Structure 1
Amino acid sequence: MNTAYLTDIIIMLTAAVIAVPFFQALGLGAVPGFLIAGVLVGPSGLGLIDNVTEISHLAELGVVLFLFVIGIELKPSRLWLMRRLVFGLGTLQVLGTGLLITTITYFLFDMPLAASILIGPVMALSSTAFVLQLLAEQKKMHSEYGRTAFSVLLLQDLAVVPLLALVSLLSMPELTIGEEVALALAHALGILVLVILGGRYLLHPILHRVARYGAPEVFTASAVLLVLGTAILTERVGLSMAMGAFVAGLLIADSSYRHQVSAEIQPFRGLLLGLFFMSMGMSLNLGLLFEQPLLSLGLTAALMSIKILVLWPATRLFGLRGKTDLAVSLLLSQSGEFALVLFALALETGLLSEPVFQQLLLIVLLSMLATPPLARLADQMTKNRRSPNKNTPIEAPPSSPIVIAGFGQVGSRIGQILSMAKQPFVALDLDSELVSREGMKGHPVFFGDAQNPEVLRAVGAGDTRLVIVTVNDFAAAERIVSSLHQAQPKLNILARGHNLKQCQALRKLGAPVVVSENIEASLKLAQAALSRVGVKESENAALLEKFRQNYYGQIESVLKNETLKQ
């Protein structure tokens, strides 16, 4: 066993555990934390890790999984709802900024044309991971300012796909421009055919069979196989692994299994993407900053100024006013993680030289580090913005849905009642047949394990106010209630139990409200019986209410006894 390789991983994990929480506490975010941790342990820092190349190969899987999750989230219906800002403002920002930077790098810095064509649009991209984290911390995700920024980021995420193809095409000097365009169109057409045929005839049936007959571990293995298999396949036909992962995400974007697959991938994605950022930090040559500090800082300031000067008037053109336009421009002025991915790929293909790559890497890092104070300034600018501009039609803030865990007879009836009350809900169930059947009826039922908080986030219910646990399997109900209560102690959990003992157990695990099936059925039957033998309605109701309170009092007594023991 290669213990040296394992030692390097341990060093990286240790550095991440120390650096990332520190940077998050400073309000700088996780991405700069990973980058700085990589710098510290790499050749330019303490020199604890020398073999950056081997680490980079493993870390590339983080990018693959990241693109996969982006593909899952880019549903056509979601894009259509925000189409004006996504395809209007987003396109204008990428093309305008990209064209300006390309012109500057080609004419002022005497860069090769192919490299300039790539650097321009890549530097136009911002950090999706960084900006969304900052918006979440500011609680501005559903404000006009936050949703406008998110719309631009969505278009930038979409732009990564043609940019991945562009790296491959620009590294083929023997092709003419016409041949490049034809090859790009052929690639795009091939990907489209793969999405349609694969999604319709292959992946959904496979996931359905695995979900129906396989153990949970097999479903996890299938999710990883789906990503890596598609990534390897596209690499074999001349495209990048990252593009293959994006295609794999698109393949299941409309599948009932997408939320569970996304949740299974998230832990791998987060860890490996962090390693990727650390590997970029280890590749960074800090000598450039010390040798030419004014040049590095000046280029970073120039990049951020260009992005602000392009996006600011563009946002005003699309109806933003009252400092929101400038706030969005400040928030998106940095370069991002996709630049790290694309420039690393361009270095591998020979499109960029090592010195140019190092300088670009330094600019990206410095722009990220400059973002948190700019984000705080943008946040202050939007403090008094209570309502969106009437000329800016953007997506309404979604209501966090109620979650029904288990969509059998009880769960489906609750769903019907919630629908009648116009209360949004999503249901999660591990019965693949039931999920398929209910999905065909148009019900919001998805394959997923409700005890996994990542699944709740994937279905858009990460901050849900209420979970109703109706699964038939009591052991499963215990796991769900326990996991949800540990993850969110203040979450309202409603659960069903078959008898007193089960109800007491669920209440003890953290469900504030527990309903016994047996007692409610018994009370209804007793009420009907007493009415038919002539007992007065008032006496009947009082008797049954006394019995109910006594029964549920026994459930609550469990908590009182636990408190006394403590």
Structure 2
Amino acid sequence: MEHLLLGLIITITIATVVNVFLKKFDIPTVIGYIFTGLIISQIFNFGEESRETLSSLAEFGIVFLMFTIGLEFSISHMKSMKKEVFVYGGLQVLLSSLLFTFLSYEFFALEIKTAIVVGMALSLSSTAIVLKVLNENGDIHTGYGRVTLGILLFQDLAVIPMLLMISIFTSENASVSELLINTVISAIIVFIILFIVGKFFIERFFDWVTASDSEEIFLASVILIVIGASVVAEYFGFSFTLGSFIAGMTIAETKYRYRIEADLVPFRDILLGIFFVTIGMQIDINIVAEFGLLILGLVVSIMLIKALIIFISMKFFMQNRSAIKSALAVMQVGEFALAIFSLASINNLINMQTNQIMIVTIVLSMILTPFILKNVKKIANIFFKEPIQLRERALVSTGYQNHVIVCGYGAVGKLLVERLKKKNILYVILEHDVKLVDSAIEKGEESIFLANAARKSILEHFDIKSSMAVITTINNPHQLRLVAENISSFGEEINSIVTVKNKSQEQSISDLGIMHVINRRETITDLLATQICAFKVLSNK
């Protein structure tokens, strides 16, 4: 079984059979891949070399996942997420690390260095599973989705000082100050290479590649950028995933982001599947049999403690319902914790038995995650009910004719609705931010509904085919694209109007056949020019 190709064939065959069977019971594919790994590790005797090769290949699944996530969050978008990343993420990692370190030291009698490593590792969550499921559910751009992403991004950054801490604990020669200085210098170099060079080079590079008019060459160049950025980050002591995420953020500023995202999705999903298979291969049945009750107790305790920490710290910044959903999303322990425990075990900071118990505990928490995320709204309803008024209003609001559908209730949407009111035009507002909906209802707005206009069933529900016009006033470029695609799917006869902030957004939806695209920046510029010309004419008189 040493041959890699034969191993891949067997892995894909078992994964296909298992997932087809599990899908009949609506069980997520992530679970199927993990069980595939468990099956092949028990039936076949994979050599250590094949396992390592498979793990190396699988790691690029997370690399491509983080790259596509980076594509959705440009540098300007990340600036707007400072609070989610550094405040929410910082609180979660700090509080979880401190509490788990204390519990490990006091109740499990671990040495202080070992307790610190365990505490840091348990504070991390599964970027791969959580982001995959949030993308599939369409929740990545919801309120709790943004918070979850922010926390996960900070955790990825926190892996760097965690690995540095292990180096400090085990280093006999290098001083702490020397290690810190080297890390800071490396961070500056990575920033310069990926951000500065990428900003001025990547778009020109893709312009040159697309001149060849070859899809194969374009795809190869994209893979080159992703792997190249990952290798640069890894070379300077950071994770592969951090490099790929930064590369994605850089490309998000270019006109190629949507094309690249569409091309990479098949590679990402296949490699992610292999990654989850390798997770399943790490489950040791003998350890489960011997320490089953202890492992079960650890899984439940760790997940509940993490959820409580996140909920209590988040409830001061957001609604209770969003806080509980965010807590449920990141209550598991993730793949980076496996890497930390592996490194700690190699450096004799934890013994082999503790390492194996923690590996099985982490994997079981990851297995539970897709089920939790798939039912996150139902679980949240147990603690904090969704406003019944909003659900009932959405259910009965059908039967419109010759109305205007306004997608988005931001600044532009509010002004537009005011104009429609003055002209006595029938309208409905679709807004997916519950805070904006609640605020509007409190002010007496009766035609606003909590709904995601990117879903086909929503526009059908509000009779898009009988509408006078559909006007989109959404600022988020990714959400704008999704809504525009949905409107376009109803055919060319829909009177669609989309407002965009700039030329880049206008180009991103140019292929969708939207009837009217209004560029706010250009419109304002034209109005100003007209007004100046009018002043000039008057002054000449």
**What stretches of structure 1 of length at least 5 have no aligned partner?**
403-417, 427-443, 445-456, 468-490, 496-512, 516-566
2:266 paired residue number: 267
AA at the equivalent of 1:464: E
CA 70–303 in structure 1, closer or farther in 2 if over 3 Å, else same: same
Q: Could you give the per-residue CA deviations for residues 119-160 of structure 1, whole angstroms, max 9, x where no partner exists? A: 434422333454456557777666xxx522541332322330
Q: Larger deviation: 299-308 or 345-354? A: 345-354
Deviations 1:343-395 (A, max 9, x none): 556667776654444322211222133345655351543653348468999xx
The residue aligned with 1:258 is: 257
Could you tell me which amino acid in structure 1 is paired with residue 10 of structure 2? I
SS in structure 1 at match of 2:3: helix
CA distance in 2 between counterparts of 1:331 and 1:63 reads 18
Give runs of aligned pairs for residues 61-460 of structure 1, distance below 5 A.
Answer: 61-111=60-110, 116-131=115-130, 147-164=143-160, 166-167=162-163, 170-171=166-167, 173-174=171-172, 175-321=174-320, 325-340=323-338, 343=341, 354-371=352-369, 374-375=372-373, 376=375, 377-381=378-382, 384-385=386-387, 386=390, 388=434, 400=454, 460=481
Displacement of 1:327: 4.4
SS in 1 for 2:485: coil
CA distance in structure 1 between the partners assigned to 2:301 and 2:438 by the alignment: 30
Deviates more, 1:288-297 or 1:193-202: 193-202
Indicate how the Cα distance of structure 1 residues 226 and 346 shifts in structure 2: closer, same or farther if over 3 A, else same. farther
Distance in 1 separating the partners of 2:237 and 2:90: 27
Inter-partner Cα distance in structure 2 for 1:397 and 1:81: 23
Is the partner of 1:465 in helix, strand or coil? helix
1:461 aligns with 2:482: yes
Between the aligned partners of 1:191 and 1:423, the Cα distance in structure 2 is 37
- Return the letter of the residue paired with 1:265: L
In 2, Cα distance between equivalents of 1:116 and 1:265: 40
CA shift in 2, pair 1:86/1:63, >3 Å: closer
- Which digits, 9 at most, give the CA deviation of each residue in 1:410-445, with x for residues without a partner? xxxxxxxx99x656699xxxxxxxxxxxxxxxxx8x
CA gap of 1:198–1:26, structure 2 versus 1, over 3 A, is farther
Partner-residue secondary structure (3-state), 1:39:
helix
Q: Which amino acid aligns with 2:386?
A: N
2:121–2:340 Cα contact (<8 Å) kept = yes
Which stretch has the larger CA shift, 381-390 or 61-70? 381-390
Q: Is the 8 A contact 1:327 1:379 kept in 2?
A: yes
Measured in 1, the distance between the counterparts of 2:7 and 2:220 equals 26
Report if the CA contact (8 A) 1:118-1:167 is conserved: no
Question: Are the aligned partners of 1:164 and 1:342 in contact in 2 as well (CA < 8 Å)?
Answer: no
Deviation at 1:208, TM superposition (A): 1.5
Question: In structure 1, what is the Cα distance between the partners aligned to 2:21 and 2:131?
Answer: 19
Cα distance in 2, alignment partners of residues 343 and 493 from structure 1 = 54
> Structure 1's 257 and 133: CA in aligned 2 closer, same or farther, altered over 3 A?
closer
Instruction: Give the Cα separation in 2 of the matches to 1:235 and 1:134.
Output: 26
Q: Is the 8 A contact 1:105 1:116 kept in 2?
A: yes
Distance in 2, matches of 1:129 and 1:463, equals 28
Instruction: Summarize deviations over 1:28-49 as a string: whole Å, max 9, x none.
Output: 423222111101111xx22364
Cα distance per residue 1:510-556 (max 9 Å; x no partner): xxx999xxxxxxxxxxxxxxxxxxxxxxxxxxxxxxxxxxxxxxxxx
Query: Are the aligned partners of 2:183 and 2:237 in contact in 1 as well (CA < 8 Å)?
Result: no
CA distance in 2, matches of 1:291, 1:365: 17
Q: CA deviation at 1:101?
A: 1.4
Summarize the Cα distance change of 1:338–1:26 in structure 2 as closer, same or farther, 3 Å threshold.
Answer: farther
1:167 counterpart letter in structure 2? L
Answer yes or no: is the 8 Å Cα contact 2:129–2:370 preserved in 1.
Answer: no
Contact kept, 8 Å, 2:75 with 2:249, in 1: the verdict is no
Structure 2 unaligned regions, length at least 5: 391-432, 440-449, 457-468, 494-512, 516-541
Identity over aligned pairs, percent: 26
1:278 alignment partner AA: V
Provide closer, same or farther for how the CA distance between residues 68 and 378 of structure 1 changes in structure 2, counting only shifts above 3 A. Answer: same
Deviation at 1:296, TM superposition (A): 0.6
- Structure 1 contact 319–391 (Cα < 8 Å) conserved: no
Instruction: Give the Cα–Cα distance (whole angstroms) in 1 for the partners of residues 452 and 247 of structure 2.
Output: 27
1:189 deviates by 1.9
RMSD, aligned CA: 4.0
TM superposition score normalised by structure 2: 0.66
Larger Rg: 1
The total of aligned residue pairs comes to 422
Q: Is the counterpart of residue 47 in structure 1 residue 44 in structure 2?
A: yes
Residues 158, 89 of structure 1: alpha-carbon distance in 2 compared, 3 angstrom cutoff: closer
| 1:304 to partner: Cα distance | 0.9
Residue 317 of structure 1 aligns to a residue whose secondary structure is coil
Q: Distance in 1 between matches of 2:114 and 2:276?
A: 23
1:139–1:93 CA distance, 2 compared to 1 (3 A): same
Residues 1:84 and 1:59: Cα distance change in structure 2 (over 3 Å): closer
TM-score (norm 1): 0.64
Alignment of 1:23-34 (within 5 A): 23-34=22-33
